[in-house]
Structure 1
Amino acid sequence: MTTALTVGVEEEFLLLDPETGVNVPAAAAVLAGLPAHLRGQSRQEFRHSMVEMVTPVCTTLSEVGEHLRRHRRAAAEAASAAGCCLVAVGATPVAEPRLTVTDNPRYQAIAEHYGPIVRDPAVCGCHIHVGVADRELAVRVGNHLRPWLPVVQALSVNSPFHGGVDTGHASWRSMQLDRWPTLGPTPAFASAADFDRTVALLVGSGAMLDERLVLWYARPSSRYPTVEVRVTDVCLTANDTVLLAGLVRALVATATAGIAAGVPAPEVPDGLLRAAHWNAAHQGLDGTLLDLRRLEPRPAWDLVDDLVEAVTPALDRHGDLAVVHAGLARLRAEGTGARRQRQMYARTGSLPAALAEMAAG
């Protein structure tokens, strides 16, 4: 049996006032309140109103799910003790009165370099790492992922609210982050050397502060021997994250097998790729997505079905097929995180009440 590719997940969360829904700068207290054995799996984030939890390296989706649920429970309890709620939404839904960056020297350098962009309210993503043999392979896998990542993004949309109102977008996080240079669809590269040359030129231009500030939707991790997919909003539930982890791992495995067999990466025009990502962030699964293989708009769920068909052998090899099918059936019935947020808001009649319900869940 083929050895399972490893997978790990980083999740960022907002800390919100339970009465108003406003961001609360309580990250230090929340991290200090975590059980000692979990503090090594937490990180201080860019904002005082954010915390990040990181799973260990896992080989099964059941492991991923166990760690995600344990981390969410512990962080939620620590947040409650600090007088706030831990909420898994992709963008600041109401307001962030204190727009300051944490004291991490690197974050301070980023703030000085990019100026007012850094003072945009906090956003939270989910980053999925899949183990690969080497950096060369990681770069080539990124080329193969390009036409599929808008579909992954559409599955994950979870930030419809900003400034206390519905933005009309399913992922406001994606729209907000579009202001950052070098954040967006991954360019195609001929090799790892080509990747490094491009990054060096971008650093020289000032668009990247340094070689670590590669913010593309898929990249060779600067820290681990992995492909890191970072296109998705943080998910409303751990089950949603498990689904994405299974699909992303299967995409990486499928790409790796294709590369070994000499299958070339699909050629995707950069302009259409960017449009496909905007489309995914705007509509999620509630409408059409741009099919980058046929070059035509198609019903979103048809593209999801195509994605699953393409990666089914990899899902089967990893023992993930049943979990992914169940997760997609639930998502088809309940809707994306963005749709569920809107439903909670419609039911409660109050955005702070809806956010409190999300935290309770």
Structure 2
Amino acid sequence: MRTFGVEEEFLIVNPDSGYPLPLAGEILRLHDPGPQVVQNPGHLQMLAAELHQEQLEVITHPHESLSGLAAEIQAGRAYADSLARKAGARIAALATSPLPVTPHPTRNDRYDALLEKHALTAREQLTSGYHVHVCVSSDEEGVAVLDRIRSWLPPLIALSSNSPFWNGTDSGYASFRTQAWNRWSTAGPTEVFGSAQAYHSLVENLSNTGVVTSPDFDARLSSRHPTVEIRVADVCLDARDAALIAALVRALVETAAREWEAGQPPDMVPAAILRQGAWRASRWGMDGELLHPVLHRPAAARNVFAALHDHVRDALDEAGDAAYVADSLQRILTQGTGATQQRQTLKRSGRLADVVAHATGLTHQGPVGDWPRGEPFLARDAAITDPRSNLADVSG
């Protein structure tokens, strides 16, 4: 079974006003995982700073089971929030801030250079994503996977959409984070690479331009670990949705690897077409037509997700994740995504502060009937035991 892990980025917010607070440094100073290694193996959490001090990243260990990963996702959210409370704040799974904010940059050599070079794009980039890492056996397998999952990534944007507001107004998009993120010069879908050599050659040539050192592709090889990293999703308001996205990503990777082994060529659809699919998903989320991953024509969201589910069904069955994924897809198709819930809250109350308060509560919602079943997270479920060493790539 392929191991997988995730990185979740959260906003640090004032629990009363809803405005983001630049407290990442203070929260990280409160974080001391050392004694927990022995006392509480369920809280081997790793936290990291992001580009701006209004954000905090929580990184999981690698897991074989969805139930183990889901339990650590929930534990990580609770642990980060417990530290934020000590600093007089809360964490909220919001992919953009509903309220206006002027971000405060994290000061270090890497981020200082990024801000100097990319100017307003970097200064305004207060967006919270959700990255899923899945292990691969080699760079060749990893690139073969990247070539074969491209068409299936835009539906994940729709499924995770959780950023309708920007600078105090409704952006009109379900995932405005996708629009803001795509300001980066290498963000978005890629063409088919064909080989690991071609992939590494492109990365090197991009670095030689002097603009980027690590490309922001929608999906890429990790530079630190033997994984592929899928980066298209918003951070999910509901932890159950985070578990769903992770299960689908692992199944997509496994399915793509099997296609490669069987000699099945990738879909050669141009990246420009895939970008339109990502735009559709960003604009309407689950409430409009998406680009069908096989036909590359607009289709109802329900039909697109039926195609996705059918595409990865065998991998889901073998992992034991099929029932959870089917139930979760139906729940989101019925109840809507985080973007839907944010807009519903604003419609009820008329206050963006209430949107943040409601989102804060949902961020920490406990297990319910359709939570993945299985063993709770224990240190033995992780491939490693050092809380400062994770499969997930902490490079941002």
TM normalised by structure 2 equals: 0.87
| 1:72 corresponds to | 77
**Equivalent residue letter for 2:48:** R
Tell me whether 1:30 sits opposite 2:27 in the alignment.
yes
Is 1:157–1:232's contact at 8 Å kept on the other side of the alignment?
yes
**Aligned 1:1-361 pairs, distance under 5 A:** 4-34=1-31, 36=33, 37=36, 41-97=46-102, 99-208=103-212, 210=213, 213-361=214-362
- What SS is found at the alignment partner of 1:190? coil
**Equivalent residue letter for 1:68:** I
Is 2:54–2:104's contact at 8 Å kept on the other side of the alignment?
no
Return the alpha-carbon distance in structure 1 between the equivalents of residues 88 and 68 of structure 2: 30
Is 2:10–2:94's contact at 8 Å kept on the other side of the alignment?
yes
Return the alpha-carbon distance in structure 2 between the equivalents of residues 243 and 205 of structure 1: 38
Return the alpha-carbon distance in structure 2 between the equivalents of residues 226 and 33 of structure 1: 30
Return the alpha-carbon distance in structure 2 between the equivalents of residues 250 and 7 of structure 1: 11
Return the alpha-carbon distance in structure 2 between the equivalents of residues 172 and 260 of structure 1: 37
Return the alpha-carbon distance in structure 1 between the equivalents of residues 88 and 329 of structure 2: 35
- What SS is found at the alignment partner of 1:230? strand
Sequence identity percentage: 38
Is 2:101–2:167's contact at 8 Å kept on the other side of the alignment?
no
**Equivalent residue letter for 1:60:** S
Residue 29 of structure 1 deviates from its aligned partner by 1.9
- What SS is found at the alignment partner of 1:206? coil
- What SS is found at the alignment partner of 1:12? strand
**Equivalent residue letter for 1:13:** F
Residue 33 of structure 1 deviates from its aligned partner by 3.0
For residues 122-160 of structure 1, give each alpha carbon's deviation from its aligned partner in whole angstroms, at most 9, with x where no partner exists: 100000001110111111100101110011111111000
Residues 121 and 141 of structure 1, relative CA distance in 2, 3 Å threshold: closer
Unpaired runs of 5+ in structure 2?
37-42, 363-396
Residue 35 of structure 1 deviates from its aligned partner by 5.7
Return the alpha-carbon distance in structure 1 between the equivalents of residues 197 and 135 of structure 2: 20
Residue 85 of structure 1 deviates from its aligned partner by 2.0
Is 2:129–2:233's contact at 8 Å kept on the other side of the alignment?
yes
For residues 211-243 of structure 1, give each alpha carbon's deviation from its aligned partner in whole angstroms, at most 9, with x where no partner exists: xx2111110111110110000000001111000
**Equivalent residue letter for 2:120:** P
For residues 231-278 of structure 1, give each alpha carbon's deviation from its aligned partner in whole angstroms, at most 9, with x where no partner exists: 000000111100000000000000011100000001112211111101
Return the alpha-carbon distance in structure 2 between the equivalents of residues 170 and 40 of structure 1: 30
> Deviating runs (4+, > 4 A) in structure 1?
none
Is 2:45–2:60's contact at 8 Å kept on the other side of the alignment?
no
- What SS is found at the alignment partner of 2:151? coil
Stretch moving more, 346-355 or 144-153: 346-355
Return the alpha-carbon distance in structure 2 between the equivalents of residues 290 and 107 of structure 1: 36
Residue 285 of structure 1 deviates from its aligned partner by 1.0
Residues 281 and 298 of structure 1, relative CA distance in 2, 3 Å threshold: same
Return the alpha-carbon distance in structure 1 between the equivalents of residues 261 and 220 of structure 2: 19
**Equivalent residue letter for 1:356:** A
Residues 121 and 262 of structure 1, relative CA distance in 2, 3 Å threshold: closer
**Equivalent residue letter for 2:201:** R
Residue 121 of structure 1 deviates from its aligned partner by 4.3
- What SS is found at the alignment partner of 2:286? coil
Stretch moving more, 86-95 or 301-310: 86-95
Is 2:45–2:76's contact at 8 Å kept on the other side of the alignment?
no
- What SS is found at the alignment partner of 1:284? helix
- What SS is found at the alignment partner of 2:198? helix
Return the alpha-carbon distance in structure 1 between the equivalents of residues 344 and 283 of structure 2: 17
Residue 31 of structure 1 deviates from its aligned partner by 2.2
Stretch moving more, 194-203 or 60-69: 194-203
Return the alpha-carbon distance in structure 2 between the equivalents of residues 305 and 206 of structure 1: 43
TM normalised by structure 1 equals: 0.95
Return the alpha-carbon distance in structure 2 between the equivalents of residues 202 and 336 of structure 1: 35
Residues 35 and 70 of structure 1, relative CA distance in 2, 3 Å threshold: farther
Residue 325 of structure 1 deviates from its aligned partner by 1.2
